């Protein structure tokens, strides 16, 4: 009988720890400072702001799962800089990890492409997650039928040379 009680307590303790370790909650934060139709961030200390004409949010519902894709483009200073963020199964306000194991629901890319020589364009991509650890955080402050707004941060790793880019103070305010 003592063994049964111990197993019951162990099961309950495990259940409590699993529930408490879930990062998702009802508070997705304040939504950040991005103007309507844009995505802003700091990339290794440099400011980034997307152009409204190159910024979009797409939501697809298929097979009972919602997928949201955010694309943001900036062509400042002879360089094309792009954010591409894919969120699978995210359809509510809350805080979500980027990475953290086998059940990855958010993938974030930061891409730089040099446009100074169109015949020899140089493109580099930093992705998160890049291993099984948590690479960042996505906070959805508002999601409606017509708009998504929130904040994010992550560290991305270059797929070619293993360099990293640290993305901080990210926020978006984009219509579907």
**Using one digit for the tens of pLDDT, what is the confidence trace for 23-78?**
444 566 788 999 999 999 999 999 999 999 999 999 999 999 999 999 999 998 67
Q: Left if phi > 0, otherwise alpha if psi is -120 to 50, otherwise beta: which for 55?
A: beta
* Residue 95 is assigned to a structural domain of this protein: yes
* pLDDT band per the 50, 70, 90 thresholds, residue 118: low
Identify the pLDDT of residue 77.
66
* Residue 5 is assigned to a structural domain of this protein: no
* Residue 116 is assigned to a structural domain of this protein: yes
* pLDDT band per the 50, 70, 90 thresholds, residue 122: confident
* Residue 119 is assigned to a structural domain of this protein: yes
Rounded-to-integer distance, Cα 65 and Cα 73, Å? 27
Whether residue 92 is predicted with pLDDT greater than 70 in this model: the reply is yes
pTM score of the predicted model = 0.81
Overall number of domains in the chain: 1
Domain of residue 83, residue span? 25-175
* Residue 144 is assigned to a structural domain of this protein: yes
Whether residue 160 is predicted with pLDDT greater than 60 in this model: the reply is yes
Whether residue 157 is predicted with pLDDT greater than 70 in this model: the reply is yes
* Residue 8 is assigned to a structural domain of this protein: no
Tokens of 147: 């708009």
Identify the pLDDT of residue 9.
33
């Amino acid at each position: 009988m003592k063994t049964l009680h111990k197993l019951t307590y162990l099961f309950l303790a495990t259940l409590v720890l699993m529930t408490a370790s879930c990062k998702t909650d009802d508070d997705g934060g304040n939504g950040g400072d991005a103007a309507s139709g844009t995505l802003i961030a700091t990339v290794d200390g440099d400011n980034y702001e997307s152009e409204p004409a190159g910024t979009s949010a797409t939501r697809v519902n298929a097979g009972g799962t919602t997928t949201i894709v955010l694309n943001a483009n900036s062509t400042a200073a002879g360089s094309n800089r792009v954010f591409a963020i894919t969120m699978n199964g995210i359809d509510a306000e809350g805080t979500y990890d980027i990475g953290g194991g086998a059940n990855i629901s958010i993938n974030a890319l930061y891409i730089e492409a040099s446009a100074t020589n169109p015949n020899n364009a140089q493109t580099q991509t930093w992705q998160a997650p890049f291993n099984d650890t948590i690479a960042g955080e996505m906070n959805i402050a508002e999601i409606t039928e017509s708009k998504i707004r929130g904040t994010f941060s992550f560290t991305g790793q270059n797929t070619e040379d293993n360099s990293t880019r640290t993305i901080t103070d990210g926020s978006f305010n984009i219509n579907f």
